[in-house]
Amino acid sequence: MTPFRLHDETRWLTLGQPFALESGAFLPEVRIAYRTWGTLAPAADNAIVVCHALTGSADADRWWAPLFGQGRVLDPEQDFILCSNVLGGCYGTTGPTSPAPDGRPWGRSFPIVTLRDQVRAQMALADALGIRRIRLVIGGSMGGLQALEWALLDPVRVGAVATLAASGRHSPWCLVWSEAQRLALAADPNYADGDYDPRDPPVAGLAAARAIAMATYRSPRSLSERFGRQTGGEIFGVRAQTPDDFAVKGWLRHHGRALTERFDANSYRVLLDAMDTHDLGRQRDDYASVLRAIRQPVLVGSIASDALYVPGDQLELASLIPNATWLPIDSAHGHDGFLIDAARFQAGLLAFKSRQAVDHAAPARHTSVQASCPQSHRRSTLNRAWG
């Protein structure tokens, strides 16, 4: 893996004491890489926390650029925006590539982390920065899973949540795709059950895992419209292997290779494992009761063409969270639509954020989910409510 070049404005926080994990293990030291935009208000009440996806980084202005800017949902003129690399990642925050107590990289011995562990690390960062009120926690995919955990772990400080292309627990469908990627890693002899030489990483296994993931991130329509049955030529500056080689296959190979140049295989496995443990009801209460206990306004963004976190996942959230607002995302690109088509739903996010600012200044009121779910799902929601 070629080390990812961190932005010059990346900052670090080192927690001053061992960090306890849900598993019962401890990390003797945790270092968190993060970036901020804007200025924290004197009352420390204008923060927005952005949570990134599986292979993302703290550079939210790179991968979510359409949401940044004056008058947009992430407005440095008004907001203090915070994004950190997740615990277990490889973009500056403590993870498998970080030094263990013996001075060597943790590698496969890095302990199991959960999304709750990751969010608690983010909470510690917010504490250290003096943040007293978080206007909004927002994220897509893995970041959307974390945003929901924020609502439960920090209910007093978090004012609202936006979760996009995500769910309240990993479905069997998501679990099998995660396992397929683990099998791809394990099939590479260089992987050696995670005990590999960083100078000779399991490039083929990680590329194959990424290829599997990419197939779930896009939609049949997206690939058909872009590539069809086109053959030959170049894609991303790389010539087709043969004149009759399909361009879409070259696209998949490109993404596999590209990830191996910027990501660590053990970090990839650690983060897959963290997502698979995701279940808001785990060790709390039954799942439906936990969702009903969320009191913050929650925007639930759903992409009709998403083949990974399917719309049914979001409908479940919107029907059970008391103050949920449904945001349909118009994208032909499948799961990756939360990134590719961010400009299309920026207005919906901004409207949600603006409503929270108005409601925060007005007396508290309750918004029923029946008023915010799609019309076709109101009857089933009412039936649950009354019987």
- Tell how far CA 355 is from the center of its chain: 24
Spatial distance between the Cα atoms of 276 and 273, rounded to a whole number of angstroms: 5
Alpha helices in the chain (DSSP H): 60-63, 115-128, 142-153, 172-186, 203-217, 220-226, 247-260, 265-276, 287-292, 311-320, 337-340, 342-361, 378-386
Burial readout 124-141 (b: 16 or more C-beta within 10 A, e: otherwise): bbbeebebeebbbbbbbb
Catalytic residue from among 98, 117, 335, 372: 335
The HSE-up count of residue 255 (CA atoms within 13 Å, CB side) is 17
362 contact partners, CB below 8 Å, separation of at least 6: none
278 is catalytic: no
Q: Binding site, residues?
A: 210, 336
Q: How many residues does the chain have?
A: 387
What is the full DSSP assignment across 131-177? ---EEEEEEETHHHHHHHHHHHHSTTTB--EEEES--SB--HHHHHH
| 219 tagged catalytic | no
Angle at which helices 203-217 and 172-186 cross, to 10°: 160
Q: What are phi and psi of 380, to 5 degrees?
A: -65, -35
Q: How far apart are CA 48 and CA 143, in angstroms?
A: 13
Q: Which residues pair with 136 in a beta bridge?
A: 48
Catalytic annotation present for 306: yes
Q: Are 138 and 161 in contact (CB under 8 A)?
A: yes
From the list 59, 61, 75, 306, the catalytic residue is: 306
- DSSP bridge pairs for 325: 299
Q: Are 151 and 137 in contact (CB under 8 A)?
A: yes
Which one of 141, 178, 267, 305 is the catalytic residue?
Answer: 141
What is the phi/psi pair of residue 298, to 5°? -125, 120
Binding-site positions for substrate: 210, 336
**250-254 — which CB contacts under 8 Å span 24+ positions?**
251/223, 251/226, 251/227, 252/211, 252/214, 252/215, 253/207, 253/211
DSSP 3-state assignment of 231?
Answer: strand
Q: Which residues are catalytic?
A: 141, 306, 335
